[in-house]
Amino acid sequence: MVVLIDQDVSGQSNAPSLTVESRADGAYLLLAGSWTINFARSADIVISSFLDDPVRPTGMDLGGVTELDTAGAWLIEKLGRTSGCDRNTVVNVAPLHQILLDAILQAGVQQTAEYKQQTRWTDFPEEVGRNIVDVIYDIRLLFDLLGATVVGLFSSLLQISKFRGISMIHQIDRTGLQAVPIIALMSFLIGGIVAQQGAFQLRTFGAEIFVIDLVGVLLLREIGVLLTAIMVAGRSGSAFTAELGSMKMREEIDALKVGGLSPVEVLVVPRVLALVISLPLTTIVSNFSGLAGACLVAWVYSGIEPEAFVAYLREAIALNTFLVGIIKAPFMALIIALVACSEGLQVSGSAESLGRRTTASVVKSIFLVIVVDGIFAVFFGLVGF
């Protein structure tokens, strides 16, 4: 028998001790005393002393442990891991101690899995496969939420009392009306920058007047709606994710389900409808603001009078130029709302999860918005619209 004990606390009552006992089926570690935070340093010294001993045990006996808390359970888990004893070889554990040890073991397994996941970037094929599976899972979630939203919308229309009109109007105010100042300012500046750069390049060829054609087509077909969608994704999309995520963390969504209410009908449908309505309207504001900025810069930088700018602009653009951007807006709004709500409903119980999902919501929304814009640009180009 080998007795290991920290000499600094050997005279104290309930000091942690570790004994190696030979039995018929091998050597066992006999733990005794109080394995708590008060004796954490002493217990750690006991474990360190054991690591220098050549005896390799086949199991652990916790029958002599009188007190156990989280710190002590972590130390026992460390002892079992370093000595090679698995959980099946631990005997004589009090029921309450077993619950704590199981929780600590599960936490250790999760941390090990997370560590392995973080270090798997070296295995490129596996990482690619994992990302593909995640993308497929996200796409499936988006289509599931889209279907649930459509069902919830028709259910609300069939039973008008279930329609959340006040909530939708409130969301329109937040995502549309309150977003007008920042969207108008950004579009005004972008329109001015595009006009200045276009005039600077066209001046070399004596074609400075064509900057009006450039600005008109570019703003109305592409930049206006794209800039607005990106701004809305960063502003309103992140807000949707944070709101739903916070409700998920506080179990408010579970409370809705218990109360017999559909979270999709109550929370998702008003936000989707509000964004589908407000994004085309804010796109119109963005278009006019961008043209106003371009007009001002053309006047100051190139000497083109506002009256001449408007006259040339009417000749340079047609109704379809304006409609191309407006047609894209509802689809972009639908994508932003669905991605934001989907990420919010996937938030778990930690603040870290909320931050991660909010970031993912903005990134995914902007990426999908740009992809959709490219698809529409190719489509309209092919059909000549």
- How confident is the model over 311-331, as a mean pLDDT? 90
- How confident is the model over 307-319, as a mean pLDDT? 89
pLDDT in tens, 173-215: 999 999 999 999 999 999 999 999 999 988 888 888 899 999 9
Reported pTM: 0.66
- How confident is the model over 40-61, as a mean pLDDT? 70
DSSP alpha helices (H): ranges in 1-69? 40-51
CA atoms within 13 Å, Cβ hemisphere of 296:
12
pLDDT in tens, 4-32: 444 444 445 577 777 777 777 777 888 88
pLDDT of residue 29: 80
CA distance 157 to 149: 12
Between residues 147 and 7, the one the model is more confident about: 147
Q: Which of 99-103, 224-228, 243-247 is the least confident region?
A: 99-103
Residue 273: in which H helix or E strand, if any? helix 269-302
CATH of 2-119, picked from 3.30.750, 1.10.3210, 3.30.420, 2.40.50, is 3.30.750
Looking at the chain, the domain(s) classified CATH 3.30.750 span 2-119
Long-range contacts of 76-82 (CB under 8 A, 24+ apart): 76/31, 76/35, 76/101, 76/104, 77/101, 77/104, 77/105, 77/108, 78/47, 79/18, 79/29, 79/47, 79/50, 81/108, 82/47, 82/51
Amino acid at 97: H
Residue 106's Cα: distance from chain center in Å? 25
Residues 6+ apart with CB under 8 A from 178: none
Q: What is the 3-state secondary structure (H, E, C) of 142-179?
A: HHHHHHHHHHHHHHHHHCHHHCCHHHHHHHHHHHCHHH
Give me the residue label for tokens 């959340």: 164
- How confident is the model over 126-154, as a mean pLDDT? 86
